[in-house]
Structure 1
Amino acid sequence: MTFIKKNIFSALFIIIFLVIIFVPDAKAFLIRGLMEIGFYKPKIETANNASTNLNGIQFKDVKGKLVDLGDLKGKVIFLNFWATWCPPCRAEMPSINKLYTQFKDDKHVVFIFADADGDLAKSSKFMVSRKYQMPVYKVESNIPEQIFTGALPTTVIFDKQGRLSFKHEGVANYADKKIVDFINRLKNSN
């Protein structure tokens, strides 16, 4: 009898392990749970305020409207690179959506959620199915490696002068008060 219970426990463990590995939403659920207990807090003190020429870095939304980062000078820019198939991206989406809803009506803060795959139909459907309000874009120009090296998810924040003020590769909890305070500081600085 002990042998059977041991085998059942082992089989259940293997099944759960395989589900976490192969089902993106299951892995995202696990990562989100770790975020909620304090893991994956973004480190803001790593901001380097490097000068960046944002002119010509363009994104296109689902309606075909082009946005050039160079035209957004005077605004804080929150730029997130993600993909629908990426479990860490899926895990941080609820926290980013919460941050976005806090600032969406603020004319001094702009959010760009760049689908790394460039499939706006798929990414828009993903947002609607999960009831996220964030607008999606696809990359329409070259992105300097200083901003995006291909790691997903990657989040960068530019200050009102267009300087790179924050960069984080990997999952993070963007609903954290430190990020909200950081964006407010950037927004209220000269």
Structure 2
Amino acid sequence: MREMMTKKNIINAVFIALFLIILFVPSAKAFLMQGLMEIGLFKPRTEPIAAGTPPADLSGIKFEDKSGKTVDLGSLKGKVIFINFWATWCPPCLAEMPSINKLYEQYKSDKDVVFIMVDADSNLAKAQKYMDSRSYGMPVYSVASNIPENLFKGALPTTIVFDKQGRISYNESGAANYASSKFIEFIEQLKNLKI
């Protein structure tokens, strides 16, 4: 029995246990990813919009909140629109949520920036419970129409940002730190574009 309780075996057992926790517990995986975001990994790639890029036709793309209020993206022309597709069971989604909330807190009173957090499972009660448990104030929606595949291919998390003219300025899948100074500068550039 003493041979099994050597220092090396104990250390190996601890590493295996940590690996299994990270592998099978979404919140543990999200916590690890948040730490990696803090040290500079998972930066969103922001590039300027190519000159002459036509605006997308956003009318008819709809999302519904828990009270049944529907938002049509076409009605938001003239605003910067930040859309994030996520789910409560998705570790990368949970990992980026604090940074999105920080960005939201910075712009929540800005009438030129709109946030739409889309629960991919359309379980608004569960999604809102998650937001409330973390004291996040971001508005939660479910999909209320067809979403064009060029916007959302089904990967979680997916974040899309439209400029004031309705042009896709950012469309990436995977976790990112949206509270970074570079991304905030990107949002400011989009806000200052003339329509």
SS, match of residue 44 in structure 1: coil
Please state whether the residue corresponding to 2:126 is helix, strand or coil.
helix
1:46/1:166 contact within 8 Å kept: no
> Are 2:173 and 1:169 aligned?
yes
Shift of 1:6: 1.3
Count of matched residue pairs: 190
Mark the CA change 1:90 to 1:47 in structure 2 (over 3 Å): closer, same or farther. Answer: farther
In structure 2, give the amino acid aligned to 1:28: A
The one-letter amino acid paired with 2:87 is A
Which position in structure 1 is the counterpart of 2:41?
Answer: 39
1:34·1:40 contact (CA, 8 Å) conserved in 2? yes
Given the alignment of the two structures, is residue 20 of structure 1 paired with residue 9 of structure 2, yes or no?
Answer: no
Q: 2:135 aligns with which of 128, 131, 135?
A: 131
The answer for the alignment partner of 2:84 in structure 1 is: 80
TM-score normalized by structure 2? 0.94
Gaps of at least 5 residues in structure 2 are none
Distance of aligned partners of 1:86 and 1:47 in 2 relative to their CA distance in 1, 3 Å threshold:
farther
Partner of 1:154: 158
Q: Deviations over 1:86-138 (max 9, x none)?
A: 00000000000000000000000100000000000000000000111111000
Which residue of structure 2 lines up, in the alignment, with residue 104 of structure 1?
108
CA distance in 2, matches of 1:41, 1:12: 31
Quick check: which one's helix share is greater? 1
| One-letter amino acid matched to 2:97 | M
Tell me what 1:187 maps to.
191
Give the whole-Å Cα distance in 2 for the aligned partners of 1:120 and 1:189: 34
With the length of structure 1 as denominator, give the TM-score of the two structures. Answer: 0.96
Q: 1:47–1:167: 8 Å Cα contact kept in structure 2?
A: no
Partner of 1:54: 58
121, 138, 163: which one pairs with 1:117? Answer: 121
Q: Distance in 2 between matches of 1:189 and 1:30?
A: 37
Indicate the residue corresponding to 2:99 in structure 1. 95
Unaligned ranges ≥5, structure 1? none
- Measured after TM superposition, the shift of residue 183 of structure 1 is 0.9
